[in-house]
């Protein structure tokens, strides 16, 4: 047997096994000291992946191959005709890889859409780090000018046979040939809607179609980057529908009902976010005395096995469950072996030695650090809800606003924000830049916080519509003015500043 490091389209297990039947995935590794380029000259005239020396490291997949398959892989990869085979030291293991020598590279070349789709699918299947997948998703590409090319047909057939959550990317391209952002990123509006999300409110009485999923389990408040790492691991764990188990109300609300609101999003917003991530089933389990009283063993038996019939369970390494938080990841692994379901413990995700967490995001928002929150979330912090009737004072001032409740949510720093507001339905559906005031309106002597959103260049009625408002930049704190002229002057300045921020590249 021989170890082989795949970093391009061969990361997709089905593609490599179609070429080398003996291929067996060993794990994920990093080729330190290299960078990734797509400028190897392919036989079809497009750019293919290659390693180049002098970089921060390339993420990839380590496979074990039978010796008999080496000659076959050499022929497929074009040994001596485009690639050289080299030996690399990967985390203490010697593995072969294919690199393009300089004479077979042409800077500026771009991959075909279908080829990049295979690379992305392989990276997602192997649950490579989210920032690496985001880099691949941002890789420019070109459309294959020969739609009947056999290699293209083979690639699209292979992608079509994968779960949709693995095969998103350049295959669903825009016409300019620029790869779309990954589904979890929405700097300029929410990610495209995913497929149907089936929401289940209990673990009993489920239809057969809702059982047997590979599930990620946790509270998922905010659905931040750490949460998505758990969901991605569940997606890759086995060939089964993707599910998420969460709890409503949040256990913290059950055990401390008098505590101040802390949630980053309500249940509806969380479901919308999970839908965009391609989740098939959301098991929103009712958290009360019954669920809180189950021992870890009873929870695994009654809920996971008898109720949901899970195929696989993925949790973060800081996960606890059962009465009194008596169960941890080791407990879950033991119960998985006992009851016959797989378990994956996803490592914590963070930067600069700090894990991404809902607590850290709440702190950033409380201090008005919207971009720090965005970095941890992987998307702008959003407030979602129905547009309510207000006092219509904004209309009288020349700044009509859509009023939204923030009841039950953690309050970011009160003040004025530059925002991107998505109207989620109706005749005005779309994304609008704007400016919003989050606060208690001290000018008018009120003390109940709400969100008032003014959309730039908008003319219409939004009452009853649902908005998703992204807090992009904190502009200033709440202020009380001497009179309406001073208030209007400040609103003019706020609008000008917000327009400048939102129009910046």
Please give the structure tokens belonging to residue 258.
């008098």
Q: In sequence order, what are the beta bridge partners of 24?
A: 64
Q: In sequence order, what are the beta bridge partners of 419?
A: 434, 471
**Residue 250 preceded by cis peptide, ω within 30:** no
**75 labelled catalytic:** no
CA distances from 424 to 76, 78, 465 (A): 48, 50, 7
80's CB contacts (< 8 A; 6+ apart) are none
**Burial level of 407, CB count in 10 A (0-12/13-18/19+)?**
exposed
Q: Are 97 and 58 in contact (CB under 8 A)?
A: no
- Residue labelled with tokens 């002597």: 445
How far apart (Å, rounded) are the C-alpha atoms in residues 248 and 229?
Answer: 22
Q: In sequence order, what are the beta bridge partners of 366?
A: none
3-state secondary structure at position 382? strand
How far apart (Å, rounded) are the C-alpha atoms in residues 423 and 432?
Answer: 8
Which residue out of 77, 374, 452, 473 is catalytically annotated?
Answer: 452
How far apart (Å, rounded) are the C-alpha atoms in residues 47 and 40?
Answer: 5
How far apart (Å, rounded) are the C-alpha atoms in residues 453 and 418?
Answer: 10
Active site residues: 452
């Amino acid at each position: 047997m021989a170890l082989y490091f795949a970093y391009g389209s061969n990361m997709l297990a089905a593609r490599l096994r179609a070429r080398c039947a003996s291929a067996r995935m060993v794990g994920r590794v990093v080729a330190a000291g290299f960078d990734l380029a797509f400028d190897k000259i392919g036989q079809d005239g497009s750019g293919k992946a290659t390693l180049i020396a002098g970089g921060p490291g390339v993420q990839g997949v380590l496979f074990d191959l039978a010796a008999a398959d080496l000659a076959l892989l050499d022929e497929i990869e074009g040994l001596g005709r485009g690639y050289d085979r080299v030996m690399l030291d990967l985390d203490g293991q010697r593995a072969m890889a294919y690199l393009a020598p300089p004479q077979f590279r042409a800077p500026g070349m771009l991959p075909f859409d279908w080829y990049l789709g295979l690379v992305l699918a392989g990276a997602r299947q192997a649950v490579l780090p989210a920032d690496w997948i985001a880099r691949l998703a941002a890789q420019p590409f070109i459309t294959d000018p020969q739609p009947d090319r056999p290699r293209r047909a083979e690639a699209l057939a292979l992608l079509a046979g994968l779960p949709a959550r693995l095969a998103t990317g350049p295959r669903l391209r825009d016409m300019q040939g620029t790869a779309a952002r990954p589904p979890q990123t929405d700097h300029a509006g929410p990610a495209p809607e995913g497929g149907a999300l089936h929401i289940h409110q209990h673990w009993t009485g489920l239809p057969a179609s809702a059982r047997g999923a590979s599930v990620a389990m946790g509270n998922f408040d905010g659905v931040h980057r750490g949460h998505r790492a758990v969901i991605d691991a569940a997606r890759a764990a086995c060939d089964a529908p993707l599910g998420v188990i969460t709890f409503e109300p949040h256990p913290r609300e059950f055990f401390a009902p008098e505590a101040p609101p802390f949630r980053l999003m309500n249940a509806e917003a969380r479901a919308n976010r999970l839908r965009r991530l391609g989740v098939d089933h959301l098991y929103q389990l009712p958290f009360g005395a019954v669920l809180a009283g189950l021992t870890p063993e009873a929870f695994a038996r009654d809920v996971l096995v008898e109720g949901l019939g899970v195929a696989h369970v993925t949790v973060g390494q800081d996960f606890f469950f059962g009465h009194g938080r008596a169960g941890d990841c080791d407990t879950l692994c033991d119960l998985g072996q006992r009851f016959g379901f797989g378990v994956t413990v996803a490592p914590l995700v963070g930067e600069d030695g700090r894990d991404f967490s809902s607590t850290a995001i709440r702190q950033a928002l409380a201090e008005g650090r919207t971009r720090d929150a965005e970095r941890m979330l992987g998307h702008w912090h959003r407030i979602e809800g129905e547009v309510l009737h207000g006092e219509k004072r904004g209309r009288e001032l020349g700044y009509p606003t859509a009023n939204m409740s923030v009841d039950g949510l953690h309050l970011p720093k009160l003040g004025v924000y530059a925002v991107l507001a998505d109207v989620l339905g109706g005749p005005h559906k779309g994304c609008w830049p704007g400016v919003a005031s989050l606060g208690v309106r001290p000018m008018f002597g009120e003390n109940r916080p709400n969100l008032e959103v003014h959309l730039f260049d908008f003319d219409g009625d939004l009452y009853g519509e649902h908005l998703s408002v992204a807090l992009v930049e904190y502009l200033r704190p709440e202020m009380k003015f001497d009179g309406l002229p001073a208030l209007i002057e400040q609103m003019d300045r706020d609008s000008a500043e917000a327009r400048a921020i939102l129009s910046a590249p």
